[in-house]
């Protein structure tokens, strides 16, 4: 118990220091990297729960426990790598352009199908070696799946992705709660997961996007996209002097507040 308290104090101190150093404009990056920690924790809890399960359980309870372990590790691994990619895109460490691999949706579907087959093998077999192999292969597939899922989304759409990952991290925490038989963790994870999913849906509706395409990793692009830098439409450059003259001669001006204006609290002087 003492070691747990020490770890909590150290982790809390690190979190407070990092949060104080982060600017408001960098808050989505911080949230994304924190989601990755939740996913990693779910993976570690899953492996630990598999290695040290309670002996003497009935076969049906063993199957339920193994299913919880498998799903918890899968969701946690997807959240872990997906959140890291989101953090990298928001930070500018990874290209903001969506990764357009050939047949990318088929690759995602294949990853899910193979993972389901591995789940059946993991639960049905009595061979410990085969169980460990299925669990490790699934973990690798889930890590790659999470990376590809978020890498296929453009950097401009990362705020919605962060909301989606928030939902994933909640379900990962709920799965960890099932493995640990912790009711509080289950309830908290379910609340975070459902609220994150609802928020993602509302954001998609407001931006006229498909919620299913967010989950499928196709947000911000369609199947006909070629990934080229060819310009679409017309644009006209304007100088600061011309802009000032236009504003001077305008009878009314509509200013649409954005995240930057909210962070700078510039809406109050503008409204005045």
| Whole-number Å distance between alpha carbons of 60 and 63 | 5
Domain spans of the chain, in order of start: 25-215
What's the pLDDT at 10?
Answer: 92
- Helices 59-91 and 27-51: angle between axes, nearest 10 degrees: 160
Task: Give residue-wise pLDDT tens across range 52-65.
Answer: 876 777 888 888 88
Q: How much is the average pLDDT of 240-258?
A: 83
Residue 160: closest CA among 170, 146, 150, 169: 150
- pLDDT single digits (tens) 21-75: 887 777 888 888 888 998 898 899 889 888 887 677 788 888 888 898 999 999 9
Burial readout 171-204 (b: 16 or more C-beta within 10 A, e: otherwise): bbbbbbbbbbeeeebbeebeebbeebbebbbebb
Both tokens assigned to 97:
């352009």
Q: Model confidence over 90-108: pLDDT tens digits?
A: 888 888 788 888 888 888 8
pTM of the model: 0.76
pLDDT on residue 263: 62
Pairwise CA distance, residues 257 & 253, whole Å: 13
**pLDDT score for 4:** 85
Confidence (pLDDT) at 231: 54
Rg of the chain over CA atoms, in angstroms?
Answer: 23
Instruction: Count the neighbouring beta carbons within 10 Å of the beta carbon of residue 46.
Output: 26
């Amino acid at each position: 118990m003492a070691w747990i308290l020490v770890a909590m104090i150290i982790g809390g101190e690190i979190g407070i220091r990092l949060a104080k150093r982060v600017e408001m404009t960098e808050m989505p990056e911080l949230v994304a990297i924190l989601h990755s920690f939740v996913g990693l924790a779910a993976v570690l809890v899953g492996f630990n729960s598999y290695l040290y399960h309670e002996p003497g359980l009935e076969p049906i309870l063993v199957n339920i426990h193994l299913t919880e372990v498998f799903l918890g590790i899968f969701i946690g691994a997807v959240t872990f790598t997906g959140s890291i990619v989101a953090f990298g895109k928001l930070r500018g460490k990874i290209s903001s352009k969506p990764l357009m691999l050939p047949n990318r949706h088929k690759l995602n579907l294949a990853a899910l199908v193979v993972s389901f087959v591995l789940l059946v093998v993991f639960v049905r077999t009595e061979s410990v070696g085969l169980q460990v192999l299925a669990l490790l292969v699934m973990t690798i597939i889930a890590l790659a799946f999470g990376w590809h899922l978020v890498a296929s989304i453009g950097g401009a759409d990362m705020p919605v992705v962060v909301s989606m990952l928030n939902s994933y991290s909640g379900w990962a925490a709920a799965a960890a709660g099932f493995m640990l038989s912790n009711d509080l963790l289950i309830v908290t994870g379910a609340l975070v997961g459902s609220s994150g999913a609802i928020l993602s849906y509302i954001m998609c509706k407001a931006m006229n996007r498909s919620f299913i395409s967010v989950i499928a990793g196709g947000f911000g692009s369609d199947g006909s996209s070629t990934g080229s830098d060819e310009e679409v439409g017309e644009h006209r450059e304007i100088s600061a002097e011309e802009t000032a003259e236009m504003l001077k001669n305008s009878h009314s001006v509509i200013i649409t507040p954005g995240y930057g204006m909210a962070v700078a609290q510039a809406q109050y002087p503008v409204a005045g």
